[in-house]
Amino acid sequence: MATSVSVTTDQAYQQCLAPDCGATFDVGEVLTACPRCGSLLDVAYDWDRIGPPESLRWFEQKWARRNEPLCRSGVWRFYELLPFAPPEKIVTIGEGQTPLHVTDGVGRYIGLHAGKLLLQYEGMNPSGSFKDNGMTAAFTHARTIGARRAACASTGNTSASLALYCCASRLMQAVIFIGSGKISYGKLSQALDYGALTIQIAGDFDDAMQRVREVSEQLGIYLVNSVNPFRLEGQKTIMYRVLESLGWDVPDWIVVPGGNLGNSSAFGKAFHELHELGLIDRVPRLAVINAAGANTLHQLYNKEQIRWNDGRPDSAGVARYYAQLDSAASKADTIASAIEINRPVNLTKCLRALHWCDGVVREATDQQILDAKAQVGLSGFGCEPASAASVAGAKLLREEGVIAPSDRVVCILTGHQLKDPTATVAYHTTDQDEFNRVLGKRGVSRAAFANRAVKVDNDLDEIVRAIQLNS
């Protein structure tokens, strides 16, 4: 791509993740793949020059300076662990004010001892999903190179986040590519409301992803999909906040839904770096949960046994799998629209994260996801369907005995409940047609925790009787 400005902070660079290549590039270059070999890129740091903090407790001094934007942001108060841009270029809108909560109701549902299940509630971000952690970092990079337009293909939340950062910062115009498959109205409404140019393609997410890469290349538009390595730097901080909330203790498990696999990749990098820097003494185990209707990672990891393999994963095996998908004309299909992705762009990075974190992969059915979502709702942390895959996956791993009842387990709730009210209402509805229309064809046959509206005539006695009968 044409844009290349030297903004080097002297301490950060981009590096190809393939060990046989390992080419490095200035952070001022706009790249979404290694120009030499096509592999994914990492943002890497010259830690010797940076001199990172000697302990994670060092970051606590920032709490006393909360009125400074870079200390208030839950991403940038960890600036010293992602110093790829000069501080004056940082674009922040106060992202990352997200809590970690012990949630015993959900813990019992999973089968954990009291106090052992924690929910990291990323729905609390400004645009309602974890994507803001990455967008603030991508915008900061875009600003350092002077980009005027930014684009993404999205199942919804990346576009909502991009649109919000564009209108809040007034630095760039947002161009959003969506497929014609599922996109929840909560998310689409955000993009439209925030004024993004929205291009709807007659195709699915994987088609939109392909096109946005071509178009941004051709028009020199800054691409903010999670192939953008700077986004993942911001998403590392979700794990820093988890540690911060635990008094810098490392939990036993991090459980996260897997779509394009950017989040799981970022989490692995976060822990690997902290461990290399001597800031933690062990890494947690990582569980990545696919939806059964979009289960590429599960198929490749568990059935084909494909592994990171020192940076040489069996790419022929992966290609064979995709060829099978193509010849069967198989399309991703799940109620969890945010993870309805069959060709995860960060697959290799995620395999590396699974290697670093002794990881496991599972798939959860839409039935399991929606039942788990209802349990999350009952606990007071409503989430969208994709997020509940983490809870459904933790339950499966507990039942298998992979997770022990005494393990400390953190499930990431990636997006807010109000992102996708259609799925929630259909689950709880009394209307069988509506239930079947939204849920039935995805193999959801029963809503185990449905909270049905009680229908009564407009009659005082009937209403009183209904309340007495149901409370």
Cα 177 to Cα 155: distance, rounded to the nearest angstrom = 9
CB of 28 to Zn ion, least distance (A): 18
- Closest-by-Cβ residue to ligand PLP is 415
3-state secondary structure 120-165: EEHHHCCCCECHHHHHHHHHHHHHHCCCCEEEEECCCHHHHHHHHH
Residue 347 sits in the site that holds ligand PLP (CB under 6 A): no
389 near 411, Cβ under 8 Å? no
Contact of residue 280 among Zn ion, ligand PLP, none (CB under 5-8 Å per partner type):
none
The answer to whether the beta carbons of residues 83 and 6 sit under 8 Å apart is: no
Given Zn ion, ligand PLP, none, residue 16, with its beta carbon under 5 to 8 Å by kind, binds Zn ion
56 contributes a contact to ligand PLP by CB under 6 A: no
Q: Does 262 bind ligand PLP (CB under 6 A)?
A: yes
Question: Residue from 8, 24, 36, 467 that binds Zn ion (CB under 5 A)?
Answer: 36
In terms of Cα–Cα distance, which of 278, 283, 277 is closest to 243?
283
Residue 129 binding ligand PLP, by CB under 6 A: yes
Under the binding rule (CB under 6 A), the answer on residue 98 touching ligand PLP is no
SS3 185: helix
Query: Which of 32, 342, 368, 414: binder of ligand PLP (CB under 6 A)?
Result: 414
148 binds Zn ion (CB under 5 A): no
Residue from 7, 9, 13, 16 that binds Zn ion (CB under 5 A)?
16
Separation of alpha carbons 75 and 235, rounded Å = 8
Q: Is 157 in the site for ligand PLP (CB under 6 A)?
A: yes
Which residue in this structure is represented by tokens 């109205």? Answer: 185
Residue with tokens 């590039």: 25
Among ligand PLP, Zn ion, none, the one that 259 touches (CB under a kind-dependent 5 to 8 A) is ligand PLP
For residue 31, CA distances in Å to 90, 183, 266 come to: 20, 28, 18
Q: How many CA atoms lie within 13 A of 269 on its CB side?
A: 28
For residue 184, state whether it binds ligand PLP (rule: CB under 6 A).
no
Q: What is the DSSP letter of 220?
A: T
* Contact pick of 32, 237, 260, 342 for ligand PLP (by CB under 6 A): 260
Which of 8-16, 231-239, 301-309, 335-343 is the region at the interface with Zn ion (rule: CB under 5 A)?
8-16
Residues that bind Zn ion (CB under 5 A): 16, 18, 21, 23, 34, 36-37, 39
Residues that bind ligand PLP (CB under 6 A): 129, 131, 157, 226, 257-263, 338-339, 384, 386-387, 414-415
